[in-house]
Amino acid sequence: MKGFEPKIIGFLCNWCSYEGADAAGRARKAYPANLRVLRVMCSGRVDPQFILEAFKEGADGVMILGCHPGDCHYKEGNLQTLKRYYVLKRVLSTLGIEEDRLRLDWISAGEGDKFVQVVSEMTERMRQLGPLPR
């Protein structure tokens, strides 16, 4: 797919993953500019409706990044997201959206390198999948 730049929406939790992205920034790490970050208080705040809305409005991929299990600022918000993620992936595939277009990962405030790695992987995978047909 020549000239295709995927658009990726990322929901980053305020306490860990957004800090992780900041850590990458402070360390002057480079990562693909395909990610549009939305800060949420907790990955558990991400309603599946937000994800469908993102796909409808032009996202080729959506990422939810939250605290590692056990580290959630609200104790178990990220675990709720984990469960929703598994159910929603099945719903998405019936709607013609490949499962890889939605990714959930855990990134702590110190994991700037992991943030860069996850965003790069996701961008590369979206390049392979191509634009989401609409």
Partner 1 sequence: MTGKPKIALYWCSSCGGCEESVIDLAEDLLTVTAAVDIVFWPVALDFKYKDVVAMNDGEITATLINGAIRMGEQEHMAKMLRKKSRLVIAHGSCAHLGGVVGLANFYRREDLLSRLYQEVPTINNPQGILPQLETIESGRKVKLPDFHDTVKTLDQVVEVDYTIPGCPPTPELIKEAMMMVLEDRLPPRGSVLAEKKALCDTCPRRDSKPDKLRITEFKRVYETEWDPEKCFLAEGIICLGPATRGGCNARCINANMPCRGCFGPTDDVRDQGAKSSSFLASIIDVTDKEALKKIVDAIPDPGGLFYRYGLASSILKGKMTRGRS
Q: What does the binding site for partner 1 look like in residue numbers (CB under 8 A)?
A: 47-49, 51-53, 55-56, 69, 79-80, 82-84, 86-88, 90-91, 94-97, 132-134
Choose between 24 and 92: whose C-beta lies nearer to partner 1. 92
**CA within 13 Å, CB half, 104:** 23
Choose between 27 and 75: whose C-beta lies nearer to partner 1. 75
The beta strand positions in 91-133, using DSSP E, are 102-106
Choose between 39 and 56: whose C-beta lies nearer to partner 1. 56
Distances (CA, A) of 128 to 39, 61, 115, 124: 27, 12, 20, 6
The CB-of-61 to partner 1 minimum distance in angstroms stands at: 13
